[in-house]
């Protein structure tokens, strides 16, 4: 009977295949585990944080790590900051902001980039030339510097920063997607769909985009990592998250005057940023190996 025979080829799909490859990569599994834990921490922040991250207590400012709290209140494992807020709680809440910022920046950049890349590759001609020259300029120019100036002028805030960061980082998506679309446009199944009378929009939706998914996902993974790094840098300069926001870059900036007194205040947020970005990069490396056809032998 067929059911009793071992099938010569185990059932497979692209995503099953990707999962098998990623699972074999020990560093990627580590990255996934860390990332999962971070998401859990971010979601469960109100329940696991020992204190309110925004509750100030000036009489208990800059307490050393491991200070026991007042009777009836939890202690401060990582001490308190210059306004007496619990450092550990702020660190926990910071994961929410960083993950959100990374995802939103990538969503903005991906939306602009994928749209322009698809149009450019699918329609070609003058549109393609125009969009690609724009991409060249955006990729070549030090737009982070310009972004800093823009945020400074329109007024520093988390929202402005996310929009500006997304607005300057879409170009690599456009270039990648265009390259893939150029090849897909010539495929027989696209021709077949067209012969059957499918509209451009339907062809793009059903035949083009699903095949771009791989490159976009890989690029987006690194985009989240870079977005978190850039956002923490801008917040450190005072251009992103504003006080009293519990954001890791802003916490580092606030901790700097107390480097001698309370080094842990400077160490902890940086470790948090590094671990987050490292975990995402590890997953991204593995996804690239599994999804990028150019690297397949």
Partner 1 sequence: MPHYILRRLLFLPPLLLGVSVLTFALIHLAPGDPLSTQFGLNPRGMELETVERLRAQLGLNDPLPVQYFRYLGSLLRGDMGRSLATRTPVSQEIMARFPATLQLAIATQALVLLVAIPLGVLSAVAVSPHSPAPPVPRRRWARLVDALCSAAALLGVSMPSFWFGIMLMLLFAQNLGWLPSTGRGDGTLVGALKALVLPAVTLGAGLMGLVARVTRSQLLEVLSQDHVRTAHAKGLAPRWVLVRHGVRNALIPVVTILGMQAASLLGGAVIVETVFAWPGIGRLAVNAIWRRDYPVIMGTVLVFSVLFVLMNLGVDILYTLIDPRIRYD
- Which residues are at the interface with partner 1 (CB under 8 A)? 140-146, 148-150, 152-155, 225, 229, 232-233, 236-239, 249, 252, 256, 259-260, 263, 266-267, 269-270, 273-274, 277-278, 281-282
Closer CB to partner 1, 44 or 139, in the complex: 139
Distance CA 16, CA 156 (A): 44
Distance CA 198, CA 242 (A): 50
Distance CA 51, CA 90 (A): 9
Closer CB to partner 1, 51 or 249, in the complex: 249
Work out how close the CB of 166 gets to partner 1 at its nearest, in angstroms, rounded to a whole number.
Answer: 16
Closer CB to partner 1, 22 or 203, in the complex: 22
Work out how close the CB of 42 gets to partner 1 at its nearest, in angstroms, rounded to a whole number.
Answer: 19
Residue of 241, 235, 251 lying closest to 90 (CA atoms): 251
Work out how close the CB of 221 gets to partner 1 at its nearest, in angstroms, rounded to a whole number.
Answer: 13
Omega before residue 244 within 30° of 0, cis: yes
Closer CB to partner 1, 41 or 229, in the complex: 229
Work out how close the CB of 97 gets to partner 1 at its nearest, in angstroms, rounded to a whole number.
Answer: 15
Count the neighbouring beta carbons within 10 Å of the beta carbon of residue 229: 18
Closer CB to partner 1, 122 or 236, in the complex: 236
Work out how close the CB of 101 gets to partner 1 at its nearest, in angstroms, rounded to a whole number.
Answer: 13
SS3 16: helix
Task: Tell the burial category of 283 from Cβ atoms under 10 Å away from its Cβ (0-12, 13-18, 19+).
Answer: buried
């Amino acid at each position: 009977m067929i059911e009793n025979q071992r099938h010569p080829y185990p059932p497979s799909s692209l995503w099953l295949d990707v999962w098998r490859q990623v699972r074999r990569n020990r560093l990627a599994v580590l990255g996934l585990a860390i990332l999962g834990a971070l998401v859990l921490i971010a979601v469960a922040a109100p329940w696991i944080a020992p204190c309110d991250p925004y509750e100030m207590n000036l009489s208990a400012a800059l307490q050393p790590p491991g200070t026991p709290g007042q009777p009836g209140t939890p202690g401060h494992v990582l001490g308190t900051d210059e306004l007496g807020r619990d450092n550990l709680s702020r660190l926990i809440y910071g994961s929410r902001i960083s993950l959100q910022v990374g995802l939103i920046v990538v969503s903005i950049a991906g939306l602009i980039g994928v749209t322009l890349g698809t149009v450019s590759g699918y329609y070609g001609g003058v549109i393609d030339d125009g969009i690609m020259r724009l991409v060249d300029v955006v990729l070549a120019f030090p737009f982070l510097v310009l972004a800093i100036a823009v945020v400074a002028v329109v007024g520093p805030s988390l929202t402005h920063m996310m929009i500006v960061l997304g607005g300057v980082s879409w170009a690599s998506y456009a270039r990648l997607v265009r390259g893939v679309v150029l090849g897909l446009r010539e495929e027989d199944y696209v021709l077949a769909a067209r012969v059957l009378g499918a509209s451009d929009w339907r062809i793009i939706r059903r035949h083009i985009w699903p095949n771009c998914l791989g490159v976009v996902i890989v690029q987006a993974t690194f985009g989240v990592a870079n977005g978190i790094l850039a956002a923490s840098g801008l917040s450190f300069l005072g251009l992103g998250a504003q006080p009293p926001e519990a954001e890791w870059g802003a916490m580092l900036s606030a901790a700097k005057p107390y480097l001698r007194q309370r080094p842990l205040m400077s160490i902890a947020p940086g470790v948090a940023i590094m671990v987050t970005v490292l975990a995402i990069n590890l997953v991204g490396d593995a996804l690239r190996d599994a999804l990028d056809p150019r690297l397949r032998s």
